[in-house]
């Protein structure tokens, strides 16, 4: 069985400060990992996926298989980054309609 752990329920930073959202996973095979974001009063949307290695809204994430982590970082946080962030996993070769989500981290960026 797979599991996704986001160790911080709440994270608060000041505008312009670096931010790191942590995600650890447990899965015996090769995973596909994603970051989803939910802004206030908006629907959940995909932010990052590790297979594409793209940077969205200044966020980047690296899959570290040795540490079984998929932390995402942004060097300079903006107030509009305030949102709930979810890390999610599916087995490689599986499908993204059966995602296992972490419990989420609520990021607040203070002015």
Partner 1 sequence: NAGVTQTPKFQVLKTGQSMTLQCAQDMNHEYMSWYRQDPGMGLRLIHYSVGAGITDQGEVPNGYNVSRSTTEDFPLRLLSAAPSQTSVYFCASSRGTTSYEQYFGPGTRLTVT
The residues that touch partner 1, with contacts defined as CB under 8 A, are: 4, 6, 9, 32, 43-46, 49, 51-52, 86, 88, 90, 92-104
Evaluate whether 5 touches 58 at the Cβ level (below 8 Å): no
Tokens of 21: 């959202």
Evaluate whether 54 touches 47 at the Cβ level (below 8 Å): no
Closer by beta carbon to partner 1, 13 or else 106: 106
- In whole angstroms, the minimum distance from the beta carbon of 103 to partner 1 comes to 4
Closer by beta carbon to partner 1, 15 or else 94: 94
SS3 103: coil
């Amino acid at each position: 069985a797979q599991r996704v752990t986001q160790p911080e329920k709440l994270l608060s930073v000041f505008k312009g400060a670096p931010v790191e959202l942590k995600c650890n996973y447990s899965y015996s095979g090769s995973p596909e990992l994603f970051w989803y974001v939910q802004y206030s009063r908006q629907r959940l949307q995909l932010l990052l996926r590790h297979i594409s290695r793209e940077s969205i809204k200044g966020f980047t994430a690296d899959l570290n298989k040795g540490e079984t982590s998929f932390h995402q970082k942004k060097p300079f946080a903006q107030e509009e980054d305030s949102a709930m962030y979810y890390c999610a996993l599916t087995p490689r070769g599986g499908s993204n309609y059966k995602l296992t989500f972490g419990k989420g981290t609520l990021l607040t960026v203070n002015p």
